[in-house]
Chains A and B, each alone.
Chain A
């Protein structure tokens, strides 16, 4: 009992830190914002009353979910590849994945403009090869937002998936193989469910980061690619703290709701994978 108490106490430094640096200032700011001439409820009805604002929320959710799925689909096999290499090669391969992170997102966004622009590399190539007669519109589209956001967030996903995989106790997989399971079967029934924890982590991390993105959509998205974070930034610029706080609360609730859904869905998915019957 005393041991578990002293283990519990380990949460205190982090918790105290979180309270002092984050929770108290943010709650204070929300309190200040909502105690003005305008009642808090009016800010929310302003949000839900205007179709434009609501569609920004929908855009934010859509972009975040799509980006999270894309990074998972692209990233999981990469992590698996790195994991399947001999142990001494892994750091070098992981390092390759992390190299682009040394460039600020702003700089990377500008680099992508060079690639995707009207007279950019892709268009020059297509024109030279005669595939198109007029330059394609690649920049300032939702597709460009996905392409760049996935590039920015992919390393996070790969690292999360990989660290999930490297915790798997290999005796399980080996045992399955000794008992006569095919490699594919062992992968599906044992490795995949066990590595899913890391994949779900990666998904959640990328999702949370996406919900707060605004630089990439603002610089290379189309006219309709406005994100919630962008809208909140505009309110802070105008010193309309009340509306900024209301928008944040909306974003917060939406994010938490989606995260619950992800957790619930992944639990059922892992369960159904692991509970499959032998062939």
Chain B
């Protein structure tokens, strides 16, 4: 469907993007303010809160901890979700409905109840404050989303191609990777994105089980109880800037690669 979208749809797209980016447009100028309080527009400008952020070990540590946990849980959860979805969709599973329901349950049980339950288990086993515990917890919270997305993709992909590959002598693993996996990639990527951001912004479980190893949302929350430190503005700004730059570089490299390829084709 590479039909050109109409002007209305294009305009609509940019309006919605403006709506989505509104908080970013507010927070970025705030991060360059110098006051004690978040006041918009800032009355005076400076790098005060950036200095504060980079000179604060707790803030930096919690930023990297959150990134680490989000990345690990998105890998683990997507992997488990992928295997589970294949079994559910291609294994002629008995009790399929019940199993799908089970996998959806972490998204339906209130997080605070899961947090308390996990806390009791973790205290009993003496493993509170472990990053691994939170990775495992976030992976479970991500499972409903990975299973839902990847299963529904598998339902739409025609199994004939994989069957053909198997008949031609490919093993089950090779057959899957050659025939099914390529069309599954968009869903796997979007499932991974889901889990990453669910973990990156998860507060309640982390607050219960993480002890002295605070994640970024926990750090923001504990600050918020007494005051809202403007340090959160530079953090958010840096995150956005970092991803924009990374995306820009990737896009630049890709274009260059395409260019080189076409030049090589000419010579």
Could you tell me which A residues sit within 8 Å of B by CB distance? 3-11, 13-15, 17-18, 21-26, 28-29, 32, 74, 77-78, 80-86, 88, 91-93, 95-108, 110-112, 114-115, 120-121, 151, 154-156, 159-160, 162-164, 166-170, 173, 183, 191, 194, 197-198, 201, 204-205, 208-209, 211-212, 215, 228-229, 232-233, 236, 241, 244-245, 247-248, 251-252, 255-256, 259
Asked if B239 CB lies within 8 Å of chain A CBs, one says: yes
Instruction: Tell me, in angstroms, the Cα distance from A4 to B113 when the chains sit together.
Output: 37
List the B side residues contacting A106 at CB < 8 Å. 203, 217, 220-221, 224, 232
- Would A4 and B21 be within 8 Å (CB), given that A11-B84, A22-B140, A78-B13 are in contact? no
**5 A-B pairs with C-beta separation under 8 A:** A13-B84, A107-B220, A111-B23, A241-B116, A248-B113
Asked if B2 CB lies within 8 Å of chain A CBs, one says: yes
List the B side residues contacting A111 at CB < 8 Å. 22-23, 26-27
Q: Mark B5-42, 1 if CB is under 8 A from A, else 0.
A: 10001101100110111111011001000000010100
Closest 4 CB pairs of A and B: A11-B87, A111-B23, A29-B117, A8-B91
Closest A residue, CB atoms, query B106 = A22
Query: Closest Cβ of chain B: how far from A138's Cβ, in Å?
Result: 13
Interface pair A205/B20, CB less than 8 Å apart: no
Interface pair A92/B156, CB less than 8 Å apart: no
Q: Is the interface of B mostly helix, strand, loop or mixed?
A: helix
Query: Closest Cβ of chain B: how far from A170's Cβ, in Å?
Result: 7
Interface pair A102/B108, CB less than 8 Å apart: no
List the A side residues contacting B9 at CB < 8 Å. 77, 80-81, 84
Asked if B69 CB lies within 8 Å of chain A CBs, one says: no
Asked if B259 CB lies within 8 Å of chain A CBs, one says: no
Interface pair B80/A13, CB less than 8 Å apart: yes
Instruction: Tell me, in angstroms, the Cα distance from A28 to B103 when the chains sit together.
Output: 18
Query: Closest Cβ of chain A: how far from B50's Cβ, in Å?
Result: 16
- Size of the B side of the interface (Cβ < 8 Å), in residues, is 98
Closest A residue, CB atoms, query B90 = A7
Asked if B228 CB lies within 8 Å of chain A CBs, one says: yes
Query: Closest Cβ of chain A: how far from B73's Cβ, in Å?
Result: 11
Interface pair B117/A26, CB less than 8 Å apart: yes
Q: Most chain-B Cβ atoms within 10 A of its Cβ — which of A93, A96, A112?
A: A96
Interface pair B23/A100, CB less than 8 Å apart: yes
Interface pair B113/A208, CB less than 8 Å apart: no
Interface pair B117/A28, CB less than 8 Å apart: yes
Instruction: Tell me, in angstroms, the Cα distance from A54 to B216 when the chains sit together.
Output: 35
Interface pair A107/B236, CB less than 8 Å apart: yes
Q: Is the interface of A mostly helix, strand, loop or mixed?
A: helix
Interface pair A108/B23, CB less than 8 Å apart: yes
Closest A residue, CB atoms, query B238 = A102
Interface pair B120/A25, CB less than 8 Å apart: yes
Interface pair B116/A29, CB less than 8 Å apart: yes
Partner of B156, one of A25, A168, A211, A236: A168
Query: Closest Cβ of chain A: how far from B216's Cβ, in Å?
Result: 7
List the B side residues contacting A93 at CB < 8 Å. 13
Interface pair B20/A194, CB less than 8 Å apart: no
Closest A residue, CB atoms, query B158 = A169
Q: Mark B218-239, 1 if CB is under 8 A from A, else 0.
A: 0011001000100011001001
Asked if B107 CB lies within 8 Å of chain A CBs, one says: yes
Interface pair B152/A10, CB less than 8 Å apart: no
- Would A163 and B153 be within 8 Å (CB), given that A111-B23, A248-B113 are in contact? yes
Interface pair A156/B118, CB less than 8 Å apart: no
Asked if B86 CB lies within 8 Å of chain A CBs, one says: yes
Q: Most chain-A Cβ atoms within 10 A of its Cβ — which of B9, B16, B217, B233?
A: B16
Instruction: Tell me, in angstroms, the Cα distance from A144 to B109 when the chains sit together.
Output: 26
Interface pair A25/B117, CB less than 8 Å apart: yes
Instruction: Tell me, in angstroms, the Cα distance from A81 to B13 when the chains sit together.
Output: 7
Interface pair B118/A163, CB less than 8 Å apart: no
List the B side residues contacting A100 at CB < 8 Å. 20-21, 23-24
Partner of B107, one of A95, A105, A168, A209: A209
- Would A10 and B83 be within 8 Å (CB), given that A86-B2, A100-B21, A114-B40 are in contact? yes
Partner of B102, one of A15, A83, A108, A197: A15
Query: Closest Cβ of chain B: how far from A110's Cβ, in Å?
Result: 7
Interface pair A103/B3, CB less than 8 Å apart: no
- Would A156 and B117 be within 8 Å (CB), given that A8-B91, A167-B157, A212-B110 are in contact? no
Instruction: Tell me, in angstroms, the Cα distance from A240 to B23 when the chains sit together.
Output: 37
- Would A197 and B23 be within 8 Å (CB), given that A11-B83, A170-B1, A232-B113 are in contact? no
List the B side residues contacting A97 at CB < 8 Å. 17, 20
Q: Most chain-A Cβ atoms within 10 A of its Cβ — which of B23, B103, B104, B157?
A: B23
List the B side residues contacting A167 at CB < 8 Å. 153, 156-157, 183, 186-187
Q: Mark B111-151, 1 if CB is under 8 A from A, else 0.
A: 11110111011000000000000001101100111011100
